[in-house]
Structures are given as C-alpha cells and as structure tokens.
Chains A and B, each alone.
Chain A
C-alpha cells in the first residue's frame, strides 16, 4: 500500500520568481537548490511544518521533458490558471489571508464559507492556483 507523499512537482514559468513567491511570500523553506548545469536547476521547497514534503518548482523549458511546442503550450496553460495543485492548511484562515494579502499574494477568492467548508483560493506568480483551508480545531 502507498503510505506517504514525499515529492510532488509544480510547473512554474520562472524559478527565480517562484523562489521569491514560495519562500519570501508564502514562507516556505528551501530544501534543495542545486545547479544542474547551464540554465538548469533543481529547486525544492517545503511547507514550514512539513519538512519532509518536497515541492519541486519545475521550470517549463524545452528539453527532455518538453518539446518546444509542448513547452509553449504548457506555459500558456499555466499562465491561464488551468492548474490547481494542492490544498494548503493554516491555523487561522482569516489571519493568514490578511497576512498573505499584505505580502502581495493574489487571491481569486477571499475566505468564504462554502457548503463543503471554509476556504480561500490564491494563485502563485505563474498562475497556478491553490486552495487554502483551516486546520480542524480540536473539540
């Protein structure tokens, strides 16, 4: 049986800009930042309280992973906000919304009580979107 997630990847338009967004705006920690030769970089970050979940910020470049036309299409799709990657959690949604907004993070949806729960949606600097929810309070 599958027991855990230890890596997942997010495709970003620019790794320098993504570094600034995930580290300086969201407050994630850099796990590994390795140069893999000219113009190639392996960059992973972790949520502050999940140091063993590496999120790879993958550049969309022409190469082995993407042919030129696929890379161009992929970049357009990312920019258009096609991809939603994850549900993040915080202790207090309104406080976190206020804080991230003050840091310049753009929200598609402010904290909203939906029939399925209390959530907000934000986008990263590339156009990828994420849900942000609140940790369930202990009874």
Chain B
C-alpha cells in the first residue's frame, strides 16, 4: 500500500503543480520538472497522482483547457486562445476541448457570449428571488 509522502516530498510535488499552474502556456517538459524536483520520472508521476488524482500530463492538459475556457468567456478567438494556452494546433485543441467540455471551443465561445449578454440585459434571471428581494433589487 502507498504511504503518504513526507513533507519535503509534498513540497516538491506542490512546487511542481504551482510551476504547471504558472507556466502552462509554455512548452513544458514534464521530465525536466521531475528532474528539478529531484525525482525519478516514475516516482514523480506516482506521487503527483497520489496528491492530485491525475498524472502531471493529465493535470497540465486540464489546466490548459480551464484557462482556454476563461479566455473564451472573455470573448477571445478560438485560434488566439489555442496558442495562448500552449496548444500547438487548433485541431488538437478542438479535439481535447470537446473531450473535456462536450462542446467545441467555438460553440463554447458563442454560448458564453450569449450568457454574458443575457446577464447584462436581465441580471435578475440569474439571482434567486429571495436574495434579490432582500437587496431591494425587485
């Protein structure tokens, strides 16, 4: 049975995660991260998965997709978003995005822009009546 890693190992794993959180848009070499964390690649992947439930590669992909969603919510174009979050081609980006979100990036962009317009036009539709009433908005 796997034992929980010791605190200094935790810190190295957490630093690796924070590195991915910050540098997801770059061409990250996960082997190099394992090296910086002074682990063998196998040991690094095992400890990372124990802490976060995903391998570093799965986690990096997840972060890129989540960041892509945020940029699409801001109205940026699909191709700009694709390269801004570290993917190297629109086709692989679209494929992965659809796998995670069940819709294409362009459909997500349209859906989010429509939602923003609806919130701006009729915010009360998005607020439970009790809260709106307490605040004097209705």
- Does B32 interact with chain A (Cβ within 8 Å)? no
Q: Which of B13-21, B35-43, B84-92, B103-111 contacts A (4 or more CB under 8 A)?
A: B13-21
Per the bound structure, the CA–CA distance linking A91 and B51 in Å amounts to 7
Q: Mark B96-137, 1 if CB is under 8 A from A, else 0.
A: 000000000000000000000001100100111001001111
Per-position contact with B for A1-32: 1 when CB-CB < 8 Å, else 0? 00000010100000000000000000000001
Asked whether A34 and B123 contact (CB < 8 A) given A94-B7, A95-B13, the answer is yes
The size bracket of the interface on B is 20 to 34
Residues on B with C-beta less than 8 A from A34 are 119-120, 123, 126-127
How many angstroms from the CA of A7 to the CA of B53 in the assembled complex? 27
Known: A63-B135, A98-B10. A36 touches B17 (CB 8 A): no
A102 to B15, CA, bound (A): 9
Sample of 14 further A-B pairs with CB below 8 A, known A92-B50, A94-B10, A98-B14: A7-B128, A9-B131, A32-B127, A33-B119, A34-B127, A35-B120, A35-B123, A36-B135, A63-B135, A64-B134, A65-B136, A92-B51, A95-B13, A102-B15
For residue A48, which residue of chain B has the nearest CB?
Answer: B66
Contacts of B13 in A (CB 8 A): 95
Q: How far in angstroms is the closest Cβ of chain B from A133?
A: 15
B127, A99: Cβ atoms closer than 8 Å: no
CB <8 Å contact, B126 and A42: yes
B31-71 contacts to A, CB under 8 A, are 50-53
Q: Mark B2-25, 1 if CB is under 8 A from A, else 0.
A: 001001001101110110000000
Residue among B18, B52, B136, B137 making CB contact with A92, cutoff 8 Å: B52
Complex Cα distance, B52 from A103, in Å, reads 17
Is A91 in contact with B52, judged by CB distance below 8 angstroms?
A: yes
Min distance, Cβ A121 to any Cβ of chain B, angstroms: 19
Using a CB–CB cutoff of 8 Å, the interface residues on chain B facing chain A are 4, 7, 10-11, 13-15, 17-18, 50-53, 119-120, 123, 126-128, 131, 134-137
The reply on A109 being an interface residue by CB < 8 A is no
**Cross-chain contact A98 with B127 (CB below 8 angstroms):** no
B22 to chain A, nearest CB (A): 11
Contact between B123 and A42, CB atoms less than 8 A apart: yes
Q: Please indicate the chain B residues that have their CB under 8 angstroms from the CB of A68 in the complex.
A: none
Given known A-B contacts A7-B131, A34-B126, A102-B18, A95 and B10 have beta carbons under 8 A apart: yes
Tell me if B14 and A99 are in contact (CB < 8 A). yes
CB-CB under 8 A from A7, the residues of chain B are 128, 131
